[in-house]
Each structure stands twice: as structure tokens, then as C-alpha cells.
Structure 1
Amino acid sequence: MLRRMYDWCVAAAYRPAAKWIMGTVSFLESSVFPIPPDAMLIPMSLARPEKAYSYAFLCTWTSVLGGLLGYAIGALLFDSVGQWVISAYGLGSEVDAFKEYYAKWGAVIILLKGLTPIPYKLVTITSGFAGYNIFLFILFSIITRGARFFILALILHRYGDRARTIIEERLTLWATLAAVLIVVGIVAAVYVL
């Protein structure tokens, strides 16, 4: 199944609809969806390294727009939708402590957590709930999400053929490591918050 999904993403790199799908995944991942856009960004950039930067740009702006949806969920719907998303990650009791940290460390939290495997939706929803300055939230989201996707694009553009060979030879290993990073990110979010 993993190989089929990877092959689909590689083949999709040549279809116009794939960019829409990747943009949608990137948008939703910043507010409610559990799968990061890297799951499409990496195979599509490996298939077409010359497009890696345009894919990174797409992921950046759709992630920031999705972050605004997450911010709105936190600001306007926290008691219903936002609390449900936060509870799904087992972080319901830590939100108040996280809100206090925002008053002092909001910029650092957004910048650091946007680069890590900690689900970004936790940052976006809590930013809205905490009432963090929306303009600073947008600025820091552009910086951190852009850095994450463009660093990945740089590596994939520069080492695309070699990286593709390495990844395809041990796809299960790399997918397992990615899954472990996501789980570690979620666990870290639980204990860091």
C-alpha cells in the first residue's frame, strides 16, 4: 500500500490536479487534517526536482491560509471544533498553560513548532484561542512554514536523483522514520505544553 501511494504521488507530479490536491492537504493540515503535505511534497519533488521550489511555495501559502482557518477555529469555535481537535491529540488539559506561554513566548512557539513534526494545527488553533496578534501570527507562519518547505525543496532540488534512489530502495524504512517523527512530535507536544 505504501509503495502504491508513493508511486501515485510520483505519477501525480505530471498531472495538474496533483498541485490542487497537495495544496488542499497543506491547507487542511494546518487546521484539522492529520497528514502533513510532505507526504506529497517529497515524492512529487523527487519526480520533478525542477518543480520543488514551486511546490514549496504552494505548500507555504496554502499552509498559511490553512493556519488562518486554524486560528479562526481557536478564536471563534474553540469550545466546539477547536476543543475537539486539541482533545483528539490528548492535549485538552494543557491548553490553558499553553495560552499563558503565548503571552510571553508566542513568537518563539510559532517559529519553532512550525518547523518541527509537532502538528502545526495545535499552534494555529491555540494561537487563535490565546488571541495572539493575527498579523504577527501570519508573519511568523510565513517564515516558519516557508523555511520548512523551502529547506526541503532545496535538498530535493539539489539531490533529487540521488535522494530518489535512496528513498525508493528503502521506502518502508523512510516512511517508518517519518511516522516515528510525527508520533514523537505529538508526544513532545503533550509533554512540552
Structure 2
Amino acid sequence: MKIFSSLFARTMRWSRHPHAPWYLALLSFAESSFFPVPPDVMLAPMAMAAPRRAWALALLTTVASVLGGLFGYAIGYFAFAGIRPWLEGSSYWEPYLQARAWFDAWGAWAVFIAGFSPIPYKVFTIAAGVAQMALLPFTLASLVGRGARFFLVAALMRWGGERMEARLHRIIDRLGWASVAALLLAYALYRWGWG
């Protein structure tokens, strides 16, 4: 069954849509403050589909992400009491506590590290607001950390370009089914108490 190749083809067609950069900017903003989907899932196919625009797309993603991070900071600064009950009951509470510990240990460097951390960036932006971190170091660390991540994604996709797109299209079904099998195996091991 070629489910993944048809999804891949649809994603690549969509990434060439004239409004795709606007959607990328919106997703980048939202992910930095409240939305769970990272912008890499849009940036990567868009940069692969249009390698000459990869740097502009990375810049757009970075700026929108930092602006969203400032919104996340404002949520933490002004509205943490309102979201705390929800946060404590969600899967984000432990990462939030980890982010706060990182702020205590490394200050603004924690925001830079957040660009590559498995902890969602939105957790760091909200935690920075709660900690009332100085805004200028927060913004600069966000620009550098997020920019490094998004420009790296864009560089890899730009380097691969059409060759990578064609190769991925040929093997995407095998990769997709292998990923499904690995997830099922991991789940089974976890359920049987081996994880």
C-alpha cells in the first residue's frame, strides 16, 4: 500500500502553494506559545520544494517564532495563574519544571538550548515570562537558538533539493511502514513492561 507516497506527494504540492509562507509564519508564531506542531514539518518540505527560497523561509520561520515566543513570554508573565491548573494536569508540567530548573542553572542560555531541546519551545517561553527573565537577553537567545535550528533545516533541504525529493518519494513508503512497525514494537515492549 502506497499511503505514505501519496501523502508525501500531497505535502510537496501543498508546500508550493502561493499562501504556504503565510501558513508557515502563522504556525511558527503559534508553536512558540501554545500550538503543539513544530514549524519544521512545513519548513522542510517548503525548503526542499523551493531550494532558492530556503534562506528566506528560514528567516520567516525564525522571526515568526521569536514573535510567538514573545507572546508566550507574555502568557507566562501576565496569565500564568490562569493557565497553571491546566498546565499541571497536562503532559507539559514536567517539562515546565525542567525548563525552570534550566533557567535557574543557565539563565538566558536555557532559551538558546531550547532551540534544540526535546522540551517544546513554548514551555521555555512561558517559563521565561514566569521567571520574569530580562526581555532583551530572552529575545536575542531566541533569535540565535531558533535561527540556528531553522537555518540548519533549511540548509539540509536546500542541499538535498529536487534530488532529495525524488529519492524520498521512491523510498517514503518503506520508511513510513518501518516507522509504524518501530512504534508498534516500542508500544508492545512498553505494555509488556520491558521499557
For the superposition of Structure 1 and Structure 2, which TM-score range results when normalised by the shorter chain? 0.7 to 0.9
- After superposition, the Cα gap between the structure-2 partners of 1:14 and 1:165, relative to the gap in structure 1 and judged at 3 Å, is closer
For the 8 Å contact 1:115–1:148, the answer to whether it is kept is yes
Q: Distance in 2 between matches of 1:49 and 1:83?
A: 44
Q: Distance in 2 between matches of 1:113 and 1:85?
A: 19
Q: Which amino acid aligns with 2:53?
A: K
Which residues in structure 2 correspond to 1:37-116 (within 5 Å)? 37-81=39-83, 84-85=86-87, 87-91=89-93, 95=97, 98-116=99-117
- The secondary structure found in structure 2 opposite 1:44 is helix
Q: Distance in 1 between matches of 2:24 and 2:60?
A: 8
Aligned position for 1:24 = 26
For the 8 Å contact 1:86–1:122, the answer to whether it is kept is no
Q: Distance in 2 between matches of 1:116 and 1:124?
A: 13
Could you say which structure has the larger radius of gyration?
2
Q: Which amino acid aligns with 2:45?
A: P
- The secondary structure found in structure 2 opposite 1:36 is coil
**TM-superposed deviation, 1:155:** 1.4
Q: Which amino acid aligns with 2:109?
A: V
Q: Which amino acid aligns with 1:12?
A: W
Matched, 1:148 2:162: no
Q: Distance in 2 between matches of 1:3 and 1:87?
A: 38
Q: Distance in 2 between matches of 1:92 and 1:118?
A: 10
Q: Distance in 2 between matches of 1:79 and 1:170?
A: 48
Once the two structures are overlaid, the 10-residue window that deviates more, 11-20 or 22-31, is: 11-20
**TM-superposed deviation, 1:156:** 1.2
Q: Distance in 1 between matches of 2:94 and 2:82?
A: 12
Q: Which amino acid aligns with 1:127?
A: A
Q: Distance in 1 between matches of 2:74 and 2:29?
A: 13
Q: Distance in 1 between matches of 2:85 and 2:114?
A: 19
Query: What is the CA deviation profile of residues 110-149 of structure 1, one whole-angstrom value per residue up to 9, with x for unaligned ones?
Result: 1112123421111111011111111100000000110001
Q: Distance in 2 between matches of 1:74 and 1:129?
A: 5
Structure 1, unmatched stretches of 5+, are: 181-193
**TM-superposed deviation, 1:91:** 1.6
- After superposition, the Cα gap between the structure-2 partners of 1:170 and 1:21, relative to the gap in structure 1 and judged at 3 Å, is same
For the 8 Å contact 1:9–1:44, the answer to whether it is kept is no
Aligned position for 1:15 = 17
**TM-superposed deviation, 1:99:** 3.1
- After superposition, the Cα gap between the structure-2 partners of 1:123 and 1:60, relative to the gap in structure 1 and judged at 3 Å, is same
Query: What is the CA deviation profile of residues 76-127 of structure 1, one whole-angstrom value per residue up to 9, with x for unaligned ones?
Result: 11112355346422425963x6435424412221111212342111111101
Seq. identity, %:
35
Q: What root-mean-square deviation, in Å, do the aligned CA atoms of Structure 1 and Structure 2 show?
A: 2.6
**TM-superposed deviation, 1:60:** 0.3
- The secondary structure found in structure 2 opposite 1:132 is coil
Structure 2, unmatched stretches of 5+, are: 184-195
Q: Distance in 2 between matches of 1:53 and 1:111?
A: 20
